[in-house]
Amino acid sequence: MAEHYTRSTESATRWCNRCGKRTQHIVSGGRIGRCLEHEAPELSAAQLKRRAKQERELKNPRLF
Ligand SMILES: [Zn+2]
C-alpha cells in the first residue's frame, strides 16, 4: 500500500476505528499519526466560552 503525503501536509482524513468515522489524523514527516478527534481533550462549556471570548478579543482589539 503506497500512499504519499507531501511534507507540507499536517493532517489527513482517515478512518478511525475508535471514533467509528473518518476523522482528521495528524501527519508528521509524511506518515499518518494519531487521530486528532478522540485524542483532543474534551473541553468543558466554560472552557469553550472562555476560548470564544479570547478569539473575539483577538479579532477585535480594544481601542484605548
Ligand atoms: Zn479517533
Output the CA 40–ligand 1 centroid distance in Å: 9
Output the CA 18–ligand 1 centroid distance in Å: 5
Output the CA 46–ligand 1 centroid distance in Å: 24
Output the CA 10–ligand 1 centroid distance in Å: 16
Burial class (CB in 10 A: 0-12, 13-18, 19+), 37: middle
Which residue range(s) make up the domain with 21?
11-59
Angle ∠(36,55,40) on CA atoms, nearest 5: 15
The answer to whether position 4 is within a domain reads no
Number of domains in the chain: 1
Given pLDDT bands bounded at 50, 70 and 90, which one contains residue 55? confident
pTM over 0.75: no
Say if residue 7's pLDDT is above 60: no
Could you tell me if 22 and 13 are in contact, meaning their C-beta atoms sit under 8 angstroms apart?
A: yes
The answer to whether position 1 is within a domain reads no
The answer to whether position 52 is within a domain reads yes
The answer to whether position 34 is within a domain reads yes
Output the CA 60–ligand 1 centroid distance in Å: 34
pLDDT per residue as tens digits for the range 30-39? 888 889 888 6
How many alpha carbons fall within 13 Å on the CB side of residue 34? 5
Could you tell me if 27 and 11 are in contact, meaning their C-beta atoms sit under 8 angstroms apart?
A: yes
